[in-house]
Amino acid sequence: MLHPIKFAPARLNLLMHLKKPRSESVIAKSLPSRVVGQMLPTLLLLIVLLAPSLWSPAQPESNPVANAPNSQDILGFINQSIGWYRHLSVEQQIATEPEDIIFLNDSEQLGNQVVHLSFDFALAYAKNQARTPAQASTSSSTTDQYQRLIQASDSADQLAKSTQVELDGLRKQLETAPPRKHKQLESQIAEVQSELDLAQTRRDVLRNLLQFVSVAGGNGGNLGAQLEELQRVIPPENQKPNAPTGNAAQQRKVEATGILGLITDLITLSKKIHTIDDTIQLTNSLQQASTQIRNPFVSQLRELVKSSNDIVQQPDSTDPTVLAQQKQQLDSTTARFKQVTALTIPLSKQTILLDLYKRNLDNWRQSVKSQYGTVLRNLLIRLGVLAFLLGVIVGIAELWRRAIFRYVHDVRRRYQFMLLRRVIMWFLIAIVVAFAFASELGSLATFAGLMTAGIAVALQNVILSVAGYFYLIGKYGVRVGDRVTISGVTGEVVDIGLVRLHLMELATTGTDAQPTGRVVVFSNSVVFQPTSGLYKQIPGTSFVWHQISLTLAPEGNYREIERRLLDAVESVFNEYKDSLEQQRRRMQHSLSVVSDFAFRPQSRFHLTQAGLEVVIRYPLELDKAAEIDDKITRALLEAIERSPKLRLVGTGTPNIQAISEPTSPDTVLKQ
């Protein structure tokens, strides 16, 4: 702590001499400008060297109260009070409900009174300290010396200004004066310029000294001045701090009904409780500090009361000297009692107000705690309802699954029902969860619309594949095990995914098809491609048409030839005729429009230059195509060998071919 500083009167004469105006200055009148210019550095050096010795520290202030706080303790208590008062801004941030505003207004009123009582006590303490004799004399001496320094600085400033005005006037005279007066005026201008330099230098030195004294020994070492500076940071006692007022403070927040809103409210209320707990802790700390500062003065009051009682209880006396002495003691005790009570009353009031403040905070905390319990109960109920609904949906889905496995025996239909069950189950779960977590249907609809638009743009290929999946599992769709042709690739379906279709590639060599060992993957969106097509058998059928071409000698009986060849083919055809007839009936049942045809071998004759060409077409089961072709080939060769009239001619050899355009309608799925 900087002590008050004191002028050395014996050395003040030099500064008082320097502050005299030019009209009274002996130096400026008697010395020529050349001598003044030579003395200027010496004068400046003398002022700088003597400046530190112009001040001397005063004696420290006395403390008449035993264990009483000093100035540093008072400043620490004031800073603690200001910090506690500024914590009200944190309370303003958590006041979001109308009932919170009521508690906040009470806290602000009490807090405003508490912090002003702290300043009342501190100012009374500073005033009491200033009344001590040592402090009073020191303060008076310091103030007088400080005022003299201010006067000296002002005089030096006025002297510099008047000299500048005189110099400007001489320069104007030089401009209009006749040539014979120029030399005289130039000499005067040079002399006045030297005087101006001296005056400005003296002014600057005094200003620097005044600035140093103001910082080092002025307000920095005066407790009352420091308290006045600190008091500016708080509003007046009848003015309330910035509190949320108006419609914004009175509007109740929309009550949250969704799980997310309830969780958010729960976190907000928890933070509010922690903030109130911190405020209560700060209030307890301030109350403890106030009690520690008040205790020494309360002890002194007790001593004063005891001392006054002792004086009053003394035996009555008629001696004027004794009576005068008792009167003097009572007057001194009364004066001291007034001084101490002026210090203890603000602190006692502050203790009462702090108790009320804590009670208000406790009520506020109980209110927030009640809201916290209500929100927590609503959240648990909401979660319980959500769990119950999800359990109901999962239970119904499980019953649905068991019913499918019990009553649907077709594998393909079972798979379709299971897929439908899965889609409906997850759709219902998504709807229930969305309504459970959302607080407002409007915000939910907006969010769903934006999310749907984003998904449609970002996942358009995936969405198209999902749509193709439902097309593939339709009435004329495909299933695992079907032989299909997609974009020129033939294979058997091994898996149908939600977005992809897997085929086991088949290499077709003649009438036989063998796996290549590769798996071909197509996107389900291929069914919507205009340049691609998907070919498969009609549902419930598995047959193809093959043909064999024979060139015979023309001299034979063509009817006999046709009969013998058809008999050979039909002998093999009769082995699987019933299976093809069942497939024909299923095909007629599946298709709404079917042309009238029958599964039986057919023959056609063509006249060529080499002879008579016989083309025999016959249906066969797809999975036994190679075996049936082999049997028919053998049967035809045996029929040709048994009849000498059946003689093959031509350079080519007979071969069996698969018909690309069959007489019986296969289904072609082409988009």
Complete DSSP assignment for 7-71: E-GGGHHHHHHHTS-GGG-HHHHHS-HHHHHHHHHHHHHHHHHHSGGGEEEPPPPP--STT---H
pLDDT tens figures, 438-486: 766 566 667 677 777 777 777 778 888 888 888 887 777 788 888 888 8
Contact 220, 2 (CB under 8 A): yes
Q: What mean pLDDT is predicted for residues 369-392? A: 91
Higher-pLDDT residue of 665 and 521 is: 521
- Reply yes or no on whether the pLDDT at 399 is more than 90: yes
User: Can you give the pLDDT at residue 62?
Assistant: 40
- Reply yes or no on whether the pLDDT at 652 is more than 80: no
The closest of 356, 431, 349 to 390, measured between CA atoms, is: 431
CB within 8 Å of 136: residues ≥ 6 apart? 130
pLDDT tens figures, 279-306: 899 889 888 888 888 888 888 888 888 8
Higher-pLDDT residue of 135 and 452 is: 452
Q: How far apart are CA 283 and CA 291, in angstroms?
A: 12
Contact 513, 490 (CB under 8 A): yes
Q: Which residues of 518-549 are buried (b: 16+ CB within 10 A; e: fewer)?
A: eebebbbbbbebeeebbebbbbebbbbbbbbe
Between the CA of residue 310 and those of 185, 303, 307, what are the distances in Å? Answer: 87, 10, 5
Helix, strand or coil, per DSSP, at residue 598: coil
User: Can you give the pLDDT at residue 403?
Assistant: 92
Higher-pLDDT residue of 46 and 544 is: 544
Q: How far apart are CA 517 and CA 334, in angstroms?
A: 116
Here the tokens at position 481 are 């095990």
User: Can you give the pLDDT at residue 670?
Assistant: 32
Helix, strand or coil, per DSSP, at residue 577: helix
Here the tokens at position 627 are 């075996």
The C-alpha angle with vertex 43 and arms to 38 and 45, in degrees rounded to 5, equals: 110
- Reply yes or no on whether the pLDDT at 364 is more than 70: yes
User: Can you give the pLDDT at residue 53?
Assistant: 38
Q: What mean pLDDT is predicted for residues 109-120? A: 85
Helix, strand or coil, per DSSP, at residue 604: strand
Q: What mean pLDDT is predicted for residues 338-362? A: 87
Helix, strand or coil, per DSSP, at residue 522: strand
Q: How far apart are CA 24 and CA 42, in angstroms?
A: 21
Q: How far apart are CA 197 and CA 40, in angstroms?
A: 9
User: Can you give the pLDDT at residue 236?
Assistant: 61
Percent of the chain with pLDDT over 70: 72
Contact 464, 434 (CB under 8 A): no
Which contiguous run of DSSP H or E holds residue 505? strand 500-509
User: Can you give the pLDDT at residue 388?
Assistant: 94
The answer, as to whether pTM is greater than 0.85, is no
Burial-class residue 115 by CB neighbours within 10 Å (0-12, 13-18, 19+). buried
Task: Provide the 8-state DSSP code for 648.
Answer: B
Q: What mean pLDDT is predicted for residues 394-413? A: 87
Across the chain, which distance is largest between two alpha carbons, in Å? 184
pLDDT tens figures, 188-219: 888 888 888 888 888 888 877 766 665 554 44
Q: How far apart are CA 67 and CA 322, in angstroms?
A: 33
For CA atoms 550, 551, 556, 557, give the dihedral sign.
positive
User: Can you give the pLDDT at residue 330?
Assistant: 78
User: Can you give the pLDDT at residue 240?
Assistant: 52
Higher-pLDDT residue of 529 and 505 is: 505
Q: What are phi and psi of 489, to 5 degrees?
A: -105, 125
Q: What mean pLDDT is predicted for residues 262-287? A: 89
The residue written with tokens 């400026």 in the block is 28
Higher-pLDDT residue of 378 and 5 is: 378
- Reply yes or no on whether the pLDDT at 551 is more than 50: yes
- Specify the range with the lowest mean pLDDT, choosing from 65-69, 132-136, 335-339: 132-136
Q: Is 540 left (phi over 0), alpha (psi -120 to 50) or beta?
A: left
Q: What mean pLDDT is predicted for residues 3-10? A: 38
Q: Give the torsion through C-alpha atoms of 342, 343, 344, 349, to 10 deg.
A: 80
If DSSP states are collapsed to H, E and C, what string results for 127-142? HHHHCCHHHHHHHHHH
- Reply yes or no on whether the pLDDT at 641 is more than 60: yes
Q: 645 pLDDT band (50/70/90 cuts)?
A: low
Q: How far apart are CA 320 and CA 354, in angstroms?
A: 50
Bridge partners (DSSP) of residue 521 are 502
User: Can you give the pLDDT at residue 234?
Assistant: 65
Complete DSSP assignment for 409-477: --HHHHHHHHHHHHHHHHHHHHHHHHHHH-S-HHHHHHHHHHHHHHHHHHTHHHHHHHHHHHHHTSTT-
User: Can you give the pLDDT at residue 395?
Assistant: 94
Q: How far apart are CA 435 and CA 260, in angstroms?
A: 11
- Specify the range with the lowest mean pLDDT, choosing from 114-128, 196-210, 466-480, 587-601: 587-601
User: Can you give the pLDDT at residue 415?
Assistant: 77
CA 376 and chain centroid, separation: 24
Complete DSSP assignment for 471-484: HHTSTT---TT-EE
Between the CA of residue 629 and those of 477, 510, 547, 648, what are the distances in Å? Answer: 29, 11, 10, 19
For the sheet with 543-552, list strands across it: 602-607, 612-621, 543-552, 656-658
Here the tokens at position 643 are 């009849």
Helix, strand or coil, per DSSP, at residue 662: coil
CB within 8 Å of 77: residues ≥ 6 apart? 69, 118, 122, 289, 290, 293
Q: What are phi and psi of 119, to 5 degrees?
A: -70, -35
Here the tokens at position 199 are 């005056």
Highest-scoring range by mean pLDDT, 206-215, 528-537, 549-558: 528-537
Higher-pLDDT residue of 441 and 345 is: 345
Here the tokens at position 386 are 């959500």
CB within 8 Å of 619: residues ≥ 6 apart? 543, 544, 545, 573, 580, 599, 600, 601, 664
Helix, strand or coil, per DSSP, at residue 173: helix
- Reply yes or no on whether the pLDDT at 109 is more than 90: no
Q: 14 pLDDT band (50/70/90 cuts)?
A: very low
Q: 391 pLDDT band (50/70/90 cuts)?
A: very high
User: Can you give the pLDDT at residue 660?
Assistant: 54
Mean pLDDT of the chain: 74
Q: How far apart are CA 637 and CA 247, in angstroms?
A: 105
In 298-338, the DSSP E strands lie at none
The residue written with tokens 């009491």 in the block is 128
User: Can you give the pLDDT at residue 7?
Assistant: 38
- Reply yes or no on whether the pLDDT at 6 is more than 50: no
Q: Give the torsion through C-alpha atoms of 59, 61, 67, 71, to 10 deg.
A: -120
Which contiguous run of DSSP H or E holds residue 485? strand 483-486
Q: Is 601 left (phi over 0), alpha (psi -120 to 50) or beta?
A: beta
- Reply yes or no on whether the pLDDT at 245 is more than 70: no
